[in-house]
C-alpha cells in the first residue's frame, strides 16, 4: 500500500517584468509545484521515516518534471523546496522532503552542483511559507538570491502535508549588488 495519497496539486507561475525600475529584457519566471498529501504519521510517533522518504522520490520527480515542462530545462537557474506539515504532524515529517525533493530536482535538471535550499514549518491550514531560492550551480551567486511564497488556501489540513518544489529562470530582475556573478562560477563545487 502506498504511503502517498494526493488530495490536490497546484501550479503557480509568477512573471516579473520589473520591480519599479526599467522592464527586464527577459521577464523572470518563478514557478511552484505543490502537492497536498495525507500524512501517514499524523497524530503518532513513527521511529522509521525512511520508507516514506524513499517513496516520496516519485512525487518529487512528478513535481520537478512539471516545473521543467513549464519553464524549460535549459532555462532553470534557481531552485528550492518546501514543506508545510499540518498541526497533527511533526517537523520531521516535512524534513523527509530534503532528500526526496532535492534528489528529484537534481535528477531532472541534470545534476546541478549547489545545495537545494529549503524551508519547512508545522502550521495551520492556509499558512503561507516564504521559500529561499538560489543559483542551481553555485550557492554564492548573489544576484540569484530570491524568495517565492508557497501555500494553498485549504491546506494543509491537520492530517496533511503540503510538499512544494520551486524553480525559476534567473536572478532578481534588478540585481545590482555585486558579488559573484553566474558567469564567474569557476570552481564547480556548488559553492563558487
Give me the chain's average pLDDT, please: 97
Provide mean pLDDT across the span 91-100.
97
Q: What is the pLDDT of residue 187?
A: 84
Question: Is 102 contained in some domain?
Answer: yes
Between the CA of residue 37 and those of 23, 44, 79, 162, 181, what are the distances in Å?
39, 17, 22, 6, 38
pLDDT at residue 185 is higher than 90? yes
pLDDT at residue 189 is higher than 90? no
Question: Is 191 contained in some domain?
Answer: no
Task: Give the three-class secondary structure for 182.
Answer: helix
Task: Tell me the pTM.
Answer: 0.96
Q: What is the pLDDT of residue 178?
A: 94
Between the CA of residue 124 and those of 103, 105, 147, what are the distances in Å?
28, 27, 21
Q: What is the pLDDT of residue 53?
A: 97
H or E element: which one contains 180?
A: none
63-77 per-position pLDDT tens digit = 999 999 999 999 999
User: Residue 171: which CATH number?
Assistant: 3.30.1330.110
Q: Does residue 121 contact residue 84 with C-beta atoms inside 8 Å? A: yes
- How many structural domains is the chain composed of? 1
Question: Is 1 contained in some domain?
Answer: no
Domain containing 46 equals: 6-184
Question: Is 190 contained in some domain?
Answer: no
DSSP secondary structure, 97-111, as one string: HHHHHHHHHHHHHT-
Q: What is the pLDDT of residue 188?
A: 81
What is the percentage of the chain residues whose pLDDT exceeds 70?
100
b vs e for 146-178, b when ≥16 Cβ sit within 10 Å of the residue's Cβ? bebebbbeebbbeebbbbbbbbbbbbbbebeee
Question: Is 192 contained in some domain?
Answer: no
Q: How many residues does the chain have?
A: 192
pLDDT at residue 166 is higher than 90? yes
Amino acid at each position: 500500500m502506498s504511503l502517498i495519497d494526493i488530495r490536490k496539486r497546484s501550479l503557480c507561475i509568477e512573471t516579473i517584468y520589473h520591480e519599479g525600475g526599467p522592464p527586464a529584457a527577459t521577464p523572470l519566471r518563478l514557478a511552484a509545484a505543490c502537492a497536498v498529501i495525507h500524512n501517514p504519521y499524523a497524530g503518532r510517533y513513527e521511529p522509521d521515516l525512511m520508507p516514506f522518504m524513499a517513496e516520496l522520490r516519485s512525487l518529487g520527480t512528478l513535481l520537478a518534471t512539471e516545473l521543467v515542462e513549464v519553464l524549460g530545462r535549459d532555462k532553470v537557474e534557481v531552485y528550492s523546496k518546501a514543506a508545510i506539515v499540518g498541526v497533527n504532524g511533526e517537523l520531521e515529517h516535512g524534513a523527509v522532503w530534503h532528500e526526496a525533493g532535492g534528489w528529484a530536482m537534481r535528477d531532472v535538471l541534470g545534476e546541478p552542483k549547489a545545495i537545494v535550499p529549503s524551508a519547512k514549518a508545522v502550521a495551520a491550514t492556509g499558512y503561507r511559507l516564504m521559500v529561499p531560492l538560489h543559483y542551481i550551480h553555485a550557492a554564492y551567486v548573489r544576484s540569484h538570491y530570491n524568495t517565492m511564497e508557497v501555500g494553498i488556501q485549504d491546506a494543509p489540513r491537520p492530517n496533511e502535508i503540503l510538499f512544494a518544489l520551486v524553480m525559476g529562470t534567473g536572478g532578481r530582475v534588478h540585481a545590482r549588488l555585486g558579488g559573484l556573478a553566474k558567469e564567474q562560477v569557476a570552481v564547480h563545487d556548488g559553492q563558487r
